[in-house]
Amino acid sequence: MVRRIASQVHKQAARLMRANYIKNEPVWFQAVLEHPPLPLPPRAPPVREDLSGYHPTEPLPIFYLEDKVRRQFFRDHPFEAFRPVSIVEGREVEDEHPIRGTDWTRLAQRGLNPSPEDAVHFAVNLHNHHKMALSIAYTRAVAEFRSLRAGHDFANTFARMEAEAYGTVFPSEIDRTFEKEDAVYQSADRKVELDRGALLARKRWKAILDVDSGMGDFDRGQQYTRNWKQGIRPTYLPVDELAAASEAGTPVQPMEQDRFVKLLT
């Protein structure tokens, strides 16, 4: 049965009695008419907060101490930004270096050729785990970074000098560029040759000229015209028929006679 609001029950009952759906008047009908139920209060609007000082939600600023140290490092060493760095990511994230925290006291513990990121992390590690002031930790990290880089450059310089003393020739960047350019040109020429060879290999029929075929030089049809004037008819007969014609005394074209002699010999 459909639910009705209390203030509409007696109204619905009156409509059903007028339509003869209810034959007898309910007992409660007159009592409800004399004392009708109270009407429902109107729906109150929802309470809204004061939006006069509304500000959109903004994310909080994300701050890492490494960003501050890194910004200062590249401000002091701008040419480090020109060194090539690989940003290719592997399938898995590399594990953190085992030397970290309180065990990391010298930058050289992670290699003799440190990167700028190593220097930044070393300064932050000194500040967090060794309770150094950030300025002192940064100064120490930069000093060790410069010392290790200088030692690495000296080692490379003397290794190059030693190699040149033993006869090694190191091409310049211009020479390397020319060598790469020549390699590209040679590869293009080689590709053209391979394409030409593949085209010739795809041909099914090839013209093969036999120099001993007895044809001789081309005389523009003069021999043929001379034989025609002399009444000699050209015959292109097999060997047996050609031999029978010669025995019978039938005149044969000189070219065919030469061919017959060659076949018999």
Determine the pLDDT at residue 7.
80
pLDDT higher than 70, residue 4: no
DSSP string covering 27-81: TTHHHHHHSPPPPPPPPPPPP----TT-----PPPP--HHHHHHHHHHHH-GGGG
Give the pLDDT band (50/70/90) at residue 163: very high
Determine the pLDDT at residue 153.
93
**Mean pLDDT for all residues in the chain:** 80
pLDDT higher than 70, residue 80: yes
CA distance 250 to 227: 14
Q: Is 145 exposed, middle or buried (0-12, 13-18, 19+ CB in 10 A)?
A: buried
Give the pLDDT band (50/70/90) at residue 214: low
Cα 168 to Cα 114, 164, 241: the distances in Å are 28, 5, 82
Determine the pLDDT at residue 125.
94
Residue 14: CB atoms within 10 Å? 14
For the residues 124-133, what does the mean pLDDT come to?
93
Highest-scoring range by mean pLDDT, 7-11, 79-83, 222-226: 79-83
From the CA atom positions of the chain, what is the Rg in Å? 55
Three-state SS annotation for 109-152: HHCCCCCHHHHHHHHHHHHHHCCCCHHHHHHHHHHHHHHHHHHH
Kindly state the percentage of the chain with pLDDT values over 70. Answer: 73
pLDDT in tens, 164-210: 899 888 888 898 899 889 888 888 777 777 777 676 666 655 555 55
Q: Which long-range contacts (CB under 8 A, 24 or more apart) does 248-256 make?
A: 253/227, 254/227, 255/214, 255/223
DSSP 103: G
pLDDT higher than 90, residue 155: yes
Kindly state the percentage of the chain with pLDDT values over 90. Answer: 31
Determine the pLDDT at residue 256.
45
CA distance 167 to 158: 14
CA distance 264 to 257: 11
